[in-house]
């Protein structure tokens, strides 16, 4: 989970409370064999807020401030992870308590794609298809491999294309428990 909680252009509001909601959603998982790596991208606020958690599976890494939307924080997380699979969570999104269990029970390939739920005025399922603009890291789980995020602007689709080259035999599974909330300045509850 890359985390920059300080102010930047078009940032969502109430980001500290959303950050805690995201971290707590991982701690509350029914599937217990996980690690959460929070990458503080030059952000002292993230470092202070993460100290509130005593769960040994919640870890913080600090790196110098990177350009907005750089792939470096996610690459650092991948490099330091101890698990076999990587799943992403943005600081303003969250998981339902069975999210990891559902993925674990259906995981048969090195790359899986799943639907997520996005919140507008009501909950709507967002179908994930593997094409530009229709999928993101909120809807993938992949084996830790060679693919890495680009150092500059790191669009999800560019990374997913690299994953598809590395893991061409992917599977689409269903999990209704990733909640996408990152619409700047909206839906802050």
How many domains, the chain? 1
Strands (DSSP E) along the chain, which ranges? 2-3, 36-41, 58-63, 85-87, 94-95, 111-114, 116-119, 123-126, 140-143, 171-173, 178-180
**Does residue 170 belong to any structural domain of this protein?**
yes
Instruction: Please tell me the predicted confidence (pLDDT) of residue 87.
Output: 95
pLDDT, mean of residues 35-64: 95
Which residues have CB under 8 Å from 34's CB, separation 6+?
A: 26, 57, 83, 100
pLDDT, mean of residues 65-84: 91
**Does residue 187 belong to any structural domain of this protein?**
no
- Domain housing 23: 2-180
**Does residue 58 belong to any structural domain of this protein?**
yes
Dig out the tokens for 147 from the structure.
């693919």
**Does residue 189 belong to any structural domain of this protein?**
no
pLDDT category of residue 98 using cuts at 50, 70 and 90: very high
**Does residue 186 belong to any structural domain of this protein?**
no
**Average pLDDT taken over every residue of the chain:** 85
6-29: pLDDT as tens digits: 877 777 778 899 999 999 999 999
Choice between 10 and 77, residue whose per-residue pLDDT is larger: 77
For residue 162, give the CATH number of its domain: 3.90.550.10
Which residues have CB under 8 Å from 70's CB, separation 6+?
A: 41, 149, 151, 152, 153, 154
**Does residue 97 belong to any structural domain of this protein?**
yes
**Does residue 39 belong to any structural domain of this protein?**
yes
138-174: pLDDT as tens digits: 888 999 999 998 877 667 888 888 999 999 999 888 8
């Amino acid at each position: 989970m890359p985390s920059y909680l300080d102010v930047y252009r078009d940032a969502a509001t109430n980001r500290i409370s959303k950050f805690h909601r995201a971290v707590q959603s991982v701690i509350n998982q029914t599937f217990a064999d996980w690690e959460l790596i929070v990458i503080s991208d030059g952000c002292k606020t993230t470092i202070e807020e993460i100290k509130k958690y005593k769960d040994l599976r919640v870890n913080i890494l600090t790196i110098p401030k990177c350009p907005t939307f750089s792939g470096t924080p996610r690459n650092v997380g991948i490099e330091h992870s101890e698990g076999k699979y990587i799943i992403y969570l943005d600081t303003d999104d969250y998981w339902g308590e069975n999210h990891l269990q559902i993925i674990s029970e259906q995981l048969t390939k090195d790359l899986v794609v799943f639907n997520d739920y996005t919140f507008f005025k009501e909950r709507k399922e967002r179908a994930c298809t593997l094409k530009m603009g229709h999928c993101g890291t909120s809807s993938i789980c992949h084996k830790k491999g060679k693919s890495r995020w680009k150092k500059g602007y790191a669009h999800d689709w560019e990374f997913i294309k690299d994953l598809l080259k590395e893991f061409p035999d992917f599977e689409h599974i269903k999990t209704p428990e990733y909640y996408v909330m990152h619409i700047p300045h909206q839906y802050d509850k």
